[in-house]
């Protein structure tokens, strides 16, 4: 992790909030809506702004349905945005076409959530990993292609002889390592990790996270790490962003957010993390949220969290809270933070 991360902001949370120096990725007022029929719109991502510095890991957490995976896919341009910009090295990726867009694809990669669904069962492991090499013409010969595939397998902790096998011959953890090798094939600078450990056994999750950290140190990678396991996000992230109903409700350095959460939603999420001390765990006060997650088709007025917030007032229903800096480097969207 990048221990020197600082914060650079623009007024009112309108522009990207990110690391000091030149950010690698800037997400500026990004929205992604889906028409669902009957004149209704599902607001999966709504006015999202943040930046990620070179070599940094930004964790993104929230309940299922909060929009974090949609945000990652829109940043990767697997979805076209409804509004807003995503800039990579200063270039708005949504304006790129043809050769320029193809060149961008070499710089950005994605590790998917489900290691069983993300690998083509009809392809050998060699062909799966080499697909980015073939698309971008990176390997000049079949011998060079084979060498690069074997190097990538060994880098992620697998053996070169695995190249001739097929996905069904591997465990979930091994398949995710193959997915990581594929993401590394074109030598990207930035990787969206879309819940890469959620489908794995707990014992394997730590191994995959340690591998990602080692790759970051050795290759200088930058991560957007999407997850719902807050304890694991703390382990890998420099900063953590919390999403609720398509919006960012809190953003801070990892240690600060876990020690001093400002938003009631973040406080509730953190209270649910088990503590490996029976006495402390038994005496810990949990914040139990009432009700279900509202529909992003018809979100509440004012603060989107107010229908489940134990501290909500009339102001919360009447007025949407500003995403503001409540202390140095710590941002929250709550009237009373």
User: Within 13 Å, how many C-alpha atoms sit on residue 97's CB side?
Assistant: 1
Specify the pLDDT at position 27. 97
Alpha-carbon gap, residue 148 to 154, rounded angstroms: 10
pLDDT per position as a tens digit, 288-317: 777 788 999 999 999 999 999 989 999 999
Residue 151 inside a domain? The answer is no
Alpha helices in the chain (DSSP H): 68-75, 98-107, 125-136, 142-155, 172-184, 202-219, 230-236, 254-259, 264-271, 278-283, 314-318
Q: What is the DSSP letter of 8?
A: B
Specify the pLDDT at position 244. 96
Encoded tokens for 44: 């999966």
Specify the pLDDT at position 236. 92
> 236-270 as b/e, with b when 16 or more CB fall inside 10 Å?
bbbbbbbbbbbbbbbbbbbebbbeebbbbbbebbb
pLDDT band, very low/low/confident/very high, at 18 (cuts 50, 70, 90): low
Residue 157 inside a domain? The answer is no
Q: Is the pLDDT of residue 84 over 90?
A: yes
Angle 181-185-190 from CA coordinates, rounded to 5° = 90
pLDDT per position as a tens digit, 190-204: 999 999 998 888 889
* Average model confidence (pLDDT) across the chain: 90
Q: What is the DSSP letter of 18?
A: B
pLDDT band, very low/low/confident/very high, at 37 (cuts 50, 70, 90): confident
Residue 206 inside a domain? The answer is no
Encoded tokens for 197: 């450990």
Alpha-carbon gap, residue 187 to 184, rounded angstroms: 5
Contact between 57 and 216 under an 8 Å Cβ cutoff? The reply is yes
The predicted model gives 104-133 an average pLDDT of 94
Tell me how far apart the 2 most distant CA atoms of the chain are, in Å: 68
Residue 101 inside a domain? The answer is yes
Residue 275 inside a domain? The answer is yes
pLDDT per position as a tens digit, 139-152: 989 999 999 999 99
Encoded tokens for 267: 């406080």
Specify the pLDDT at position 5. 41
* Residue 93 backbone zone (phi > 0: left; psi -120 to 50: alpha; other: beta): alpha
Cα-based distances in Å from 278 to 246, 269, 275, 287: 36, 20, 8, 18
Alpha-carbon gap, residue 177 to 182, rounded angstroms: 9
Residue 30 inside a domain? The answer is yes
What is the share, in percent, of the chain residues with pLDDT greater than 70?
90
Specify the pLDDT at position 108. 97
The predicted model gives 87-95 an average pLDDT of 96
Within 10 A of 273 (CB to CB), how many other CB atoms are there?
14
CATH number of the domain within which 53 lies: 3.40.50.300
Q: Is the pLDDT of residue 53 over 90?
A: yes
pLDDT band, very low/low/confident/very high, at 286 (cuts 50, 70, 90): confident
Q: Is the pLDDT of residue 14 over 90?
A: no
The predicted model gives 316-326 an average pLDDT of 95
245: domain range?
A: 11-116+191-198+224-332
Contact between 212 and 188 under an 8 Å Cβ cutoff? The reply is no
Number of structural domains the chain divides into: 1
The predicted model gives 67-79 an average pLDDT of 96
Residue 79 inside a domain? The answer is yes
Q: Is the pLDDT of residue 3 over 60?
A: no
Phi, psi of 260 (to 5 degrees): -145, 60
């Amino acid at each position: 992790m990048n221990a020197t991360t600082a914060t650079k902001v623009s007024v009112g949370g309108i522009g990207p909030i990110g690391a000091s120096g030149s950010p690698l990725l800037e997400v500026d007022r990004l929205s992604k809506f889906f028409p669902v029929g009957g004149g209704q719109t599902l607001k999966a991502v709504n006015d999202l702004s943040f930046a990620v510095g070179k070599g940094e890991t930004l964790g993104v957490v929230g309940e299922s349905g909060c929009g974090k995976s949609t945000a990652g896919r829109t940043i990767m341009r697997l979805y076209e945005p409804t509004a807003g910009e995503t800039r990579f090295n200063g270039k708005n990726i949504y304006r790129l076409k043809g050769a320029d867009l193809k060149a961008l694809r070499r710089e950005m990669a994605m590790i998917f959530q489900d290691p069983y669904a993300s690998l083509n069962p009809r392809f050998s492991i060699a062909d799966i990993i080499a697909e980015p090499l073939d698309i971008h013409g990176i390997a000049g010969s079949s011998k060079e292609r084979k060498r690069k595939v074997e190097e990538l397998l060994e880098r992620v902790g697998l053996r070169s002889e695995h190249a001739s096998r097929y996905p069904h011959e591997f465990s979930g953890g091994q398949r995710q390592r193959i997915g990581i090798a594929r993401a590394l094939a074109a030598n990207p600078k930035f990787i969206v990790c879309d819940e890469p450990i959620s489908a794995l056994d707990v014992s394997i999750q730590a191994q995959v996270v340690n591998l990602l950290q080692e790759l970051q140190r050795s290759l200088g990678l930058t991560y957007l790490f999407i997850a719902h396991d807050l304890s694991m996000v703390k382990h890998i992230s420099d900063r953590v962003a919390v999403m609720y109903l398509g919006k960012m409700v809190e953003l801070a350095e990892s240690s600060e957010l876990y020690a001093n959460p400002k938003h009631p939603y973040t406080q509730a999420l953190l209270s649910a993390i088990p503590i490996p001390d029976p006495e402390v765990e038994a005496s810990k006060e949990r914040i139990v949220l009432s009700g279900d997650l509202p529909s992003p088709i018809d979100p509440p007025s004012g603060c989107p969290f107010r229908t489940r917030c134990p501290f909500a007032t009339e102001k919360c229903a009447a007025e949407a809270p500003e995403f503001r800096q409540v202390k140095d480097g710590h941002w929250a969207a709550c009237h009373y933070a």
